[in-house]
Chain A
Amino acid sequence: QSVLTQPPSASGTPGQRVTISCSGSSSNIGSNTVNWYQQLPGTAPKLLIYSNNQRPSGVPDRFSGSKSGTSASLAISGLQSEDEADYYCAAWDDSLNGHYVFGTGTKVTVL
């Protein structure tokens, strides 16, 4: 059972900006940094954002992350067809003795 809550779906037309929310609690997002992963259909997850707002090498700057209190969000600007994927937030949880928790996942559809 995921402790980080995301909307099940989000959509936009090419070029639009899409935002995905991630709601947690004081023991996870409130105390630790947030990461975001992108999972294209049939493939392994890929790290998209780490430490709330940092992009690994090779990730386009169309992807940005932010965090405030016990919530975080991922924004995709200039939406492209290849962005159609599942997106997961994640964070370490201090109340679960070193456990890592993922969000429920959001399916982004490019209309």
Chain B
Amino acid sequence: EVQLVESGGGLVQPGGSLRLSCAASGFTFSSYWMSWVRQAPGKGLEWVANIKQDGSEKYYVDSVKGRFTISRDNAKNSLYLQMNSLRAEDTAVYYCANEWELAHDYWGQGTLVTVSS
């Protein structure tokens, strides 16, 4: 059974940092591009970033470029999102998802990040 389990969310002050993790199991993690997608409270979905199988290519939505860094450890079947200089508008549930057939096939349950003083 495919499982994606996010962790690391919480309450952080504006300007602070947080590192999200996503533990994958049930599929060959190293064979898939992986993405982070977020959803602000009561709002729609927003793609945040993705990373190639070997980590050699990474892409970000403009609003997080220079502040967020996506990475992966294939030996640990894990995906990460380092978030720095956090802003109130980064408050959201963050989901990790694998990419399959140019879509997002499996999703985690999400982890809530709240940026507030």
Contact = CB atoms under 8 A, between A and B. Distances in A.
Interface residues of A, number: 26
Contact of A101 (B47, B57, B101, B108): B47
A104 B103 contact: no
B104 interface: yes
Contacts of B46: 102
B108 A44 contact: yes
A51 B101 CA distance: 7
B107 A98 contact: no
B102 A50 contact: yes
A35 B95 contact: no
A12 B104 CA distance: 28
Interface string B9-46: 00000000000000000000000000101000000111
Interface in B71-117: 95, 100-105, 107-110
Interface in A1-54: 2, 32-33, 35, 37, 39, 44-47, 50-51, 54
A54 B105 CA distance: 12
A92 B47 CA distance: 10
B61 A37 contact: no
A97 B61 CA distance: 9
A25 B35 CA distance: 23
Interface of A: 2, 32-33, 35, 37, 39, 44-47, 50-51, 54, 56, 88, 90, 92, 97-105
Q: Which 9 residue pairs of A and B lie closest in terms of their CB atoms, listed nearest first? A: A50-B103, A100-B47, A35-B103, A98-B59, A44-B107, A105-B44, A102-B45, A50-B101, A47-B105
